[in-house]
Amino acid sequence: MVNTNNPQSSTKQRLLSIKQTTDEYGASDWFWRSRIWGGELPYVKVGHKQLLDRNDLDHFIQQHKTVELAAN
């Protein structure tokens, strides 16, 4: 049964495992883990699991966008 009082029920899951992050955002498990270990990406620890907040992932991506100008 779907809980209609939960705004997350009809939207994307907010917290993602490393595997889910890799599947949805790309890069490797190692890439995302190294961002966590390096303190570049916050995470939620639940037991032994490290869960990444979709908002933090989107913010991380925005911060690391670059534009390279074509050489003339």
Joined together, the tokens standing for residue 46 give 């639940």
How many residues comprise the chain? 72
| Residue 69 CB neighbours (<10 A) | 5
Q: What is the pTM of this model?
A: 0.75
Q: What is the pLDDT of residue 5?
A: 57
Over residues 5-35, the pLDDT tens digits come to 555 555 789 999 999 999 999 999 999 999 9
Structure tokens at 51: 């869960």
How far from 41 is each of 18, 54, 56, 60, CA to CA, in Å? 12, 11, 7, 7
Residue with tokens 């495992």: 17
How confident is the model over 30-54, as a mean pLDDT?
96
User: Is residue 70 very low, low, confident or very high in pLDDT (cuts 50, 70, 90)?
Assistant: confident
CA distance linking residue 58 with residue 25, whole number of Å: 9
Domain ranges of the chain: 12-59
What tens digit of pLDDT does each residue of 57-67 get? 999 999 999 99
Q: Domain 12-59 has what CATH class?
A: mainly alpha
